[in-house]
Every structure is written in structure tokens, then in C-alpha cells.
Amino acid sequence: MKQLKQDYTKLIFKGAFILVFSLSIMIISQEKTFAQAQSQVIRMAKLKIDPTQLESYKTFLKEEIETSIRLEPGVIALNAVSDRSDPTKITILEVYASQAAYLSHLETPHFLTYKNETAAMVESLELAEVDAIILGSKKE
């Protein structure tokens, strides 16, 4: 009986150790995630596109976003939407892992092609650096 009690006590201590260790790892992971989020660069680009060139612009935009996501590890997200009542008004939410990742993105061949090929299509462009309150997504 005494041996059973000692074994039970050891089991409880092992379980407690595993629980504390697991919680510590979770806290460290959350802190790392929070720290990573603090170093991210988040931008909103609001564009007005020439209506006669909208489809051509969207083709260039699609290619640029898909290539950036595929080739650049520092590009966290690029999401483009258009205003339902005026599709020529496009907003792009850009999320980069860091300032260095953002600056690197600006020098990539695919971004420079997009920028040069669409310059005459863009009637206006407003860029804003923004701070995340919460960014969430789910894989489909």
C-alpha cells in the first residue's frame, strides 16, 4: 500500500510538471506571436482606377499578389477588395513581417512590373500605415 501511495504521488508530480511545462510553452509562444505582430508593417492602399482600364489593372494586381505570396516569405498577407457601388475604388490590405520585408518587397521584379505597368491606370492613390487591432483568418 505504501508503494502504491508513493507511485501515485510520483505520478501526480509528473503530471503537474508536464502541465506547468506545457503552460510555459504556450505563454512563451503567445509572447513571441505578440512580439512578431508588433514588428509587422501593415498598410492600407486606397486606389481609384481608370474605369476603361479596370480589368487590365485587376489582371496585373492578381499576378502581383499571387507572386508576392508565393515567393516572398516576408509577405504575410495581401488582400484586395473593391467597393461594391464603385468597383474602380480598390483597397489593398498589406501585412509584412517587418520593415525589411516591406522594403525588400518594393524592390522585387514582380512588384516593379506591377507598379510600372499600372501607373497610368491609377487615377489616385492613398497610402496609410495602420496598426492592427486584431487580424484573423481561417483556411477554407
Give ∠ CA 58-60-66 in degrees, rounded to 5.
95
Q: Is the pLDDT of residue 68 over 80?
A: yes
How far is 121 from 116, CA to CA, in rounded Å? 10
- Looking at residue 137, its pLDDT comes to 82
Q: Picking from 7-16, 76-85, 119-128, 129-138, which range would have the lowest pLDDT averaged per residue?
A: 7-16
Q: Is the pLDDT of residue 35 over 70?
A: no
Spell out the domain ranges in the chain: 1-39, 40-129
Computed from CA positions of residues 118, 120, 123, 125, in that sequence, does the dihedral angle turn out positive or negative?
positive
The residue among 36 and 122 whose pLDDT is bigger is 122
Q: Is the pLDDT of residue 105 over 70?
A: yes
Mean pLDDT computed over 109-128:
98
| CATH class of the domain defined by 40-129 | alpha beta
DSSP tag of 74: T
Q: Is the pLDDT of residue 34 over 70?
A: no
Q: What percent of the chain has pLDDT over 70?
A: 72
pLDDT, tens digit (0-9, with 9 covering 90-100), for 84-102: 999 999 999 999 999 999 9
**Mean pLDDT over the full length of the chain:** 84
Q: Which of 125, 134, 114, 133 is nearest to 47 (CA)?
A: 125
Give the model's confidence band at 7: pLDDT under 50 very low, under 70 low, under 90 confident, else very high: low
